[in-house]
Amino acid sequence: MASPTLVYCGGGNRRLVEIAIAAGFRYGARLPDTIYPGVAPLWFADQDWHNPKRDAYMAALAKHRPMQATVLDLERDEQLDDVLRWAEEAAQYVERVVIVPKVFDIIRRIPERIGSADVLLGYSVPTRYAGTEVPVWEFGRREVHLLGGSPHAQMCLMRYVNVVSADGNMANMLATRHCQFWVPGTARYANNRWWPTLMEANGGEKWGDGGDRSDAPYEAFRRSCENIITAWNALK
């Protein structure tokens, strides 16, 4: 079993993108956003599901031509036709369209191919920010892209759905806000065994040479990226 394609989804900070790509992630971003194609080609595109702007999003897809992209979230039964129209337009610019079903018993009505693009199902991993209530068994053996959530929550879902790709930026947020990095539940010395801080990992001493702490968030993010890639590869 091949490991899923892992995507670091973030824009506006070139150094974070470079760290993620060096660790083995693909590049993703919420469009339109500031991205850095000189670092790596854009592989995955997402849009603001709270405030979808179809014209601007499609123009960005036409410009960047990522491998796969989400479309309008399918939150109500009566949205299906509109979502499929988004998918038909996006299929002109990508190889895989990701449709995110948040309605019970609607997956059977979602085609596996639209235009020249394959259709993946998006599973929005439940968090405080978002998430689907559609039960995992409705996804069957359809190919699934995981959206958001913690790395360990995503890995648990491998038992229940056919995960082919996954994106997230939780490692980014916790590194830049709290200098926390992800480990596979092994940091028993820390307040959070999944997300120790650099200080906790350093025996209570602040991390950084000569009192310079400016690189600490980047070091935390680097550790997360390397640990996440290693943990996913171990699931093969």
- Structural domains of the chain sorted by starting position, each given as residue range(s) with its CATH number in brackets: 5-168 (3.20.20.70), 169-234 (no CATH)
Cis check: omega of the bond before 37, within 30 degrees of 0: no
For the stretch 98-137, pLDDT in tens is 999 999 999 999 999 999 999 999 999 988 766 788 999 9
pLDDT band at residue 224 using 50, 70 and 90 as cut-offs? very high
Q: Which positions ≥6 away from 203 have C-beta within 8 Å?
A: none
Which residue bears the tokens 């209570």?
204
What is the average pLDDT across 198-215?
A: 77
For the stretch 105-115, pLDDT in tens is 999 999 999 99
For the chain, give the percent of residues with pLDDT over 90.
80
Q: What is the pLDDT of residue 115?
A: 94
Cβ density class 28-47: b for 16+ within 10 Å, e for less: bbbbbeebbeeebebbbbbb
Structure tokens at 79: 């949205």
Q: What are the phi and psi torsion angles at 53 (to 5°)?
A: -130, 95
Residue 211 has pLDDT above 60, yes or no: no
Q: What is the pLDDT of residue 204?
A: 79
- The size of the chain, in residues, is 236
pLDDT band at residue 220 using 50, 70 and 90 as cut-offs? very high
Structure tokens at 201: 């990992």
Q: What is the pLDDT of residue 136?
A: 94
Q: What is the pLDDT of residue 69?
A: 98
For the stretch 152-199, pLDDT in tens is 999 999 999 999 999 988 999 999 999 999 999 999 999 999 999 999
Q: What is the pLDDT of residue 22?
A: 97
| CB contact at 8 A, 58 and 85 | no
Calpha distance 85→217 (Å, rounded): 41
Residue 28 has pLDDT above 70, yes or no: yes
Residue 208 has pLDDT above 80, yes or no: no
- For residue 179, with 0-12 CB atoms within 10 Å meaning exposed, 13-18 middle and 19 or more buried, which class applies? buried
Return the SS3 of 211: helix
Whether the model clears a pTM of 0.75, i.e. scores above it, the answer is: yes
Provide DSSP, 126-178: --SS----S-GGGGTTSEEEEESS-HHHHHHHTTTSEEEEEEE-HHHHHHHHH
For the stretch 2-22, pLDDT in tens is 789 999 998 789 999 999 999
For the stretch 34-82, pLDDT in tens is 888 889 999 999 998 788 899 999 999 999 999 999 999 999 999 999 9
Q: Which positions ≥6 away from 156 have C-beta within 8 Å?
A: none
